[in-house]
Amino acid sequence: MDKLIISPAPHIHSGDSISKNMQAVIIALMPAYLVALYYFGLGALIVSFTAIVSCVLFEYLIQKFILKGDTTIKDGSAALTGLLLAFNLPSNIPIYIVIVGSLVAIGIAKMSFGGLGNNPFNPALVARVFLLISFPVAMTSWPVPEALSMHYLDAVTAPTTLRNMNFGVQPDTLNLLIGNIGGSMGEVSGFALLLGFAYLLYKKVISWHIPVSILATSAVFIYILHLAAPESYIVSPIDYILSGGLLLGAIYMATDYVTSPMTKPGMLIYGVGIGLLTVIIRISPVYPEGVSFAILIMNAFTPLINTYVKPKRFGEKVKAKK
Amino acid sequence: MRTFRIGGIHPAENKFSAGQKIKTANLPKQVAIPLAHYIGAPAEAVVAKGDIVKVGQLIGKANGFISANVHASVSGKVNKIDVQLDASGYKRAAVFIDVDGDEWLETIDRTQTVVRECNLTKEEIIKKVAEAGIVGLGGATFPAHVKLSPPPGKKAEVLVINAVECEPYLTCDHQLMLEKGEEIMVGISILMKALDVNRAVVGIENNKKDAIALFQKLAKEFKGVEVTALKVQYPQGGEKQLIDAAIGRQVPSGALPIEVGAVVQNVGTTFAVYEAVQKNKPLFERVMTITGKSATNPGNYLVRLGTMLSEVVDQAGGVPADTGKIVGGGPMMGRSLMTLDVPMAKGSAGVLFIQNMESLRKKMQTCIRCGKCVNVCPMGLEPYLLMNQSEREMWADMESNKVMDCIECGSCSYTCPSNRALLDYIRFGKSTVGGIIRSRQARKS
């Protein structure tokens, strides 16, 4: 006790940190990652490894040599971006496309706005959409799942359930749950993604508001469409939310702290917006997958929502006695 | 189980001194009794150098309505009236008395028998409370008699007793309840009489099950007193939070509890009221907790006002070797002390030793907009926004975002994963905005 430390209250801290939150999300993604490794084998390993390493490396290089400041790769946010980017890619995509995607995610979507905390759009989704527009063929030919596949670029491809749905083919709910379907490597198993959701809720990393409002809105909306035109919209609401990237987007991408609203009512508005936009975009024959666009559009509304949707103030509804 | 409806956190309780019997601290050789408190005008000294005083004798007279009398806590000779560094970090007037024996005023009833009957009128009770120099012992030290005299046109309906002790580590209120339960109950009935209410609610957090059981048993003998177990949640001891938790009413922004018919008194204050009214004993000693993760002997001590904290700490085993910070009060709202050579004041609820590793704040990182501060704020504010506005000196925006509602509980800073100094900036903004509001009002009138 040579000297005492003087500081204002509070004198204790919860011990929570950015890296703990990032780690929790990465742990929550592990079941879905294992499913991806099982069904897409070697390809999934190569794509995810490339995405994570290049994201971390780009962040390090930019901070070290362009910004000439401290590097923050230890907080885990770049690794998480890499993992999420890989989850949004087909497992048979060439390495160079993954690297371009990582550069867009970290270089353009994240660091050019000032790094973690300042990016208006979800970096992994910006990269995904960039790649979808730049490499439409590579981004939309999904490999057929095959247990412990050793194929990478030579994997057999097939349309996803979403594309099939637009052609009137009913998906199989069990396969949607366990992940035995074509699709981006991280989005296939509904069960694994929900397991991670339960973990995030348990660890209080995210609240239920955003995922549940997105899923409920899109389920209700597609059910209304189904009632209105049963021939065109054959899919059940359950299958609908299990297909494509909706669960991955709703649980892991839309809940990104930086780009989603801060208050509970704001989160609900944001979630409903994403749900509605997703269904509207998915109806279009051009883009059977609409979650990425929907989330990015609502990311743009987040500052507006934060400005106008205030939390419930203490004592607000109580009238003062005269 | 009941609790307040907005925000809140649950830090590790660390109540190491729970269940430790209250020990009477040794009489010091000299005391420096502060004439000033954190809130209100300092009392005016009514003794002079060389005067011989007895325990309980008036030495400082209340100076104005929001001010409280100060009494001698020891017997002996007034050495000087001088400034003394106090726990708030300022040098303020204090009466120094050299201790000689322990001679109490004859009027004080020193027996342990519990006196239940109180035949005084409302006015007589309030007068006695004011004369005894009783202030809120929860820490804010607001004069108790002021709360017992609602402004004209306002009528109290419920008395809420703050027996929450939501600060981690502290146990002085808990132990007092266990040892002086009946006296506190009598104190409650006296306060009910003073406020002319027939309902009182005692809010106790559920980590004090023994106190809840004892009070529920005692409450059967006292009409109109309810005992409510509350879910453990910080800052439940905040006046507005407690009223919400205990009786489900929310005090509007900027208003006092009396707006919703509530008056809150701390359980320690209630005991002091009992002693003042039934035993003629003014407030000159209180229970405080000495604690910390590496404290050799965490415990609860009955200490005379003006005793140097260092002397009490020595009796409790001294300062642990790995101490990096010493806090006067609890870890969430207490003040870090520069030295232990500061006198015990009416608001001193504890001394807490924080270990080296925990004393240092971690490096502040960028805000990742996780919204956890918004989630935990018990007043429904947006700490991240207020901090940003404070950094940019956006005072008008801070005012419209209700910075004046902030109770400075520290839940936001405690929670922030980026270790941002949210409350530091908000406090700065709040004091600036408060100044702006006051000067605006002054110009109007």
| A chain contacts of residue B427, beta-carbon cutoff 8 Å | 8
Q: Give chain A's mean pLDDT.
A: 90
- Which of A238-253 are b and which e, b meaning 16 or more Cβ less than 10 Å from the residue's Cβ? ebbbbbbbbbbbbbbb
Q: What is the pLDDT of residue A167?
A: 63
CB pairs under 8 A between A and B: 169
| Measured distance CA(B35)–CA(A64) in Å, rounded | 58
Residues 129-148 of A with CB under 8 A from B: none
pLDDT exceeds cutoff 50 at A256: yes
Q: Give chain B's mean pLDDT.
A: 93
Coil vs helix vs strand at A93: coil
pLDDT exceeds cutoff 80 at A204: yes
Question: Mind listing the pLDDT tens digit for each residue in B395-445?
Answer: 999 999 999 999 999 999 999 999 999 999 999 999 999 999 999 999 988
Question: Mind listing the pLDDT tens digit for each residue in A45-82?
Answer: 999 999 999 999 999 999 999 999 888 899 999 999 99
Copy the structure tokens of residue A215: 């899923």
Q: What share of chain B in percent tops pLDDT 90?
A: 87
Coil vs helix vs strand at B168: coil
The DSSP-derived string for A178-190 is: HT-S-SSTTTS-H
| Measured distance CA(B91)–CA(B83) in Å, rounded | 6
- Contact between residue B390 and residue B426 where contact means Cβ atoms under 8 Å apart: yes
| Measured distance CA(B376)–CA(B367) in Å, rounded | 16
| Measured distance CA(B214)–CA(A113) in Å, rounded | 60
| Measured distance CA(B140)–CA(B162) in Å, rounded | 13
| Measured distance CA(A152)–CA(A47) in Å, rounded | 9
- Contact between residue A75 and residue A83 where contact means Cβ atoms under 8 Å apart: no
Average pLDDT over residues B172-181: 96
Question: Mind listing the pLDDT tens digit for each residue in B298-312?
Answer: 999 999 999 999 999
Residues 175-234 of A with CB under 8 A from B: 207
Q: What share of chain B in percent tops pLDDT 70?
A: 100
Q: What is the pTM of this model?
A: 0.92
Query: Does A262 touch chain B if contact means CB atoms closer than 8 Å?
Result: yes
Count, in order, helices (H) and strands (E) of chain A: 13, 2
How many angstroms separate the Cα of A250 from the Cα of each of A22, A132, B247?
A: 17, 19, 39
| Measured distance CA(B165)–CA(B268) in Å, rounded | 10
Question: Mind listing the pLDDT tens digit for each residue in A111-163?
Answer: 999 999 999 999 999 999 999 999 988 888 888 888 877 878 777 777 666 66
pLDDT exceeds cutoff 80 at B285: yes
| B chain contacts of residue A11, beta-carbon cutoff 8 Å | 325, 327, 331-332, 334, 336, 352, 354, 358-359
Neighbours of B388 (CB within 10 A): 16
Q: Tell which wins on pLDDT, A24 or A164.
A: A24
The DSSP-derived string for B51-107 is: -EE-BT-EEEE--SSS---EE-SS-EEEEEEEEEE-TTSSEEEEEEEEE-S-PBPTT
Residues 280-319 of B with CB under 8 A from A: 319
- Considering only CB atoms, A5 lies closest to which of B336, B380, B423, namely B336
| Measured distance CA(B159)–CA(B228) in Å, rounded | 13
pLDDT exceeds cutoff 80 at B53: yes
Query: Does A312 touch chain B if contact means CB atoms closer than 8 Å?
Result: yes
Domain boundaries, chain A: 19-308
Neighbours of B378 (CB within 10 A): 26
Q: What is the pLDDT of residue A289?
A: 78
Closest CA to A304 of A253, A254, A259: A259
Q: What is the pLDDT of residue B435?
A: 96
Secondary-structure breakdown of chain A: helix, strand, coil percentages, each rounded to the nearest 5: 60, 0, 40
Please state the φ and ψ torsions of residue A203, each to the nearest 5 degrees: -80, 0
- Residue B402 Rama label (left phi>0; alpha psi -120 to 50; beta): left
Copy the structure tokens of residue A140: 């939309």
Query: Does A303 touch chain B if contact means CB atoms closer than 8 Å?
Result: no
Query: Does A68 touch chain B if contact means CB atoms closer than 8 Å?
Result: no
Which helix (DSSP H) or strand (DSSP E) does residue A143 occupy? Answer: strand A142-143
Q: Which of B374, B384, B401, B416 to mutate to test the interface with A (most CBs of A within 10 A)?
A: B374
| B chain contacts of residue A308, beta-carbon cutoff 8 Å | none
Neighbours of B309 (CB within 10 A): 23
Question: Mind listing the pLDDT tens digit for each residue in B207-241?
Answer: 999 999 999 999 999 999 999 999 999 999 999 99
Copy the structure tokens of residue B309: 């904290």
Question: Mind listing the pLDDT tens digit for each residue in B131-160?
Answer: 999 999 987 788 999 999 988 888 999 999
Residue A45, Cβ density class (10 Å: 0-12 exposed, 13-18 middle, ≥19 buried): middle
Please state the φ and ψ torsions of residue A163, each to the nearest 5 degrees: -65, -40
Q: Report the complex ipTM.
A: 0.90
Query: Does A170 touch chain B if contact means CB atoms closer than 8 Å?
Result: no
pLDDT exceeds cutoff 70 at B30: yes
Average pLDDT over residues A295-313: 95
- Residue A155 Rama label (left phi>0; alpha psi -120 to 50; beta): beta
Q: How confident is the model at residue A317 (pLDDT cuts 50, 70, 90)?
A: low
Question: Mind listing the pLDDT tens digit for each residue in B66-123?
Answer: 889 999 999 999 999 999 998 888 899 999 999 999 999 999 999 989 999 899 999 9
Q: What is the pLDDT of residue A2?
A: 65
Q: What is the pLDDT of residue A320?
A: 46
Q: Which of B366, B386, B403 to mutate to test the interface with A (most CBs of A within 10 A)?
A: B366
Specify the range with the lowest mean pLDDT, choosing from A16-20, A235-239, B23-27, B106-110: A235-239
Q: How confident is the model at residue B340 (pLDDT cuts 50, 70, 90)?
A: very high
Copy the structure tokens of residue A192: 């694994």
Q: How confident is the model at residue A173 (pLDDT cuts 50, 70, 90)?
A: confident
Quick one: three-class SS letters along B93-126?
Answer: EEEEEEECCCCECCCCCCCCCCCCCCCCCHHHHH
Question: Can you say how many angstroms the Cα of residue B55 is from the centroid of all Cα atoms in its chain?
Answer: 23
The DSSP-derived string for B387-438 is: HHHHHTT-HHHHHHTTGGG-----HHHHH-TT---HHHHHHHHHHHHHHHHH
Q: What is the pLDDT of residue B16?
A: 94
| Measured distance CA(A130)–CA(A256) in Å, rounded | 19
Average pLDDT over residues A166-185: 78
Q: Which of A2, A3, A4 to mutate to test the interface with B (most CBs of B within 10 A)?
A: A4
Coil vs helix vs strand at B285: strand
Asked if the Cβ–Cβ distance from A12 to B332 is below 8 Å, we say: yes
What is the CB-side half-sphere exposure of residue A84 using CA atoms within 13 A?
31
- Contact between residue A153 and residue A94 where contact means Cβ atoms under 8 Å apart: yes
Question: Mind listing the pLDDT tens digit for each residue in A73-89?
Answer: 999 999 999 999 999 99
Query: Does B358 touch chain A if contact means CB atoms closer than 8 Å?
Result: yes
Query: Does A69 touch chain B if contact means CB atoms closer than 8 Å?
Result: no
| Measured distance CA(B55)–CA(B103) in Å, rounded | 6
- Contact between residue A55 and residue A105 where contact means Cβ atoms under 8 Å apart: yes
Closest CA to A160 of A91, A255, A254: A91
Asked if the Cβ–Cβ distance from A310 to B382 is below 8 Å, we say: yes
Asked if the Cβ–Cβ distance from B324 to A4 is below 8 Å, we say: yes
pLDDT exceeds cutoff 50 at A321: no
Which residue does chain A place closest to B379, by CA atoms? Answer: A314
In the DSSP assignment, the letter for residue A216 is H
| B chain contacts of residue A309, beta-carbon cutoff 8 Å | none
State which CATH number among 1.10.1760, 1.10.287, 1.10.3430, 3.30.160 fits the domain covering A19-308. 1.10.3430
Asked if the Cβ–Cβ distance from B323 to A1 is below 8 Å, we say: yes
State which CATH number among 2.40.50, 2.60.120, 2.60.40, 3.30.300 fits the domain covering B25-99. 2.40.50
According to CATH, the superfamily of the domain at B1-24+106-360 is NADH-ubiquinone oxidoreductase 51kDa subunit (3.40.50.11540)
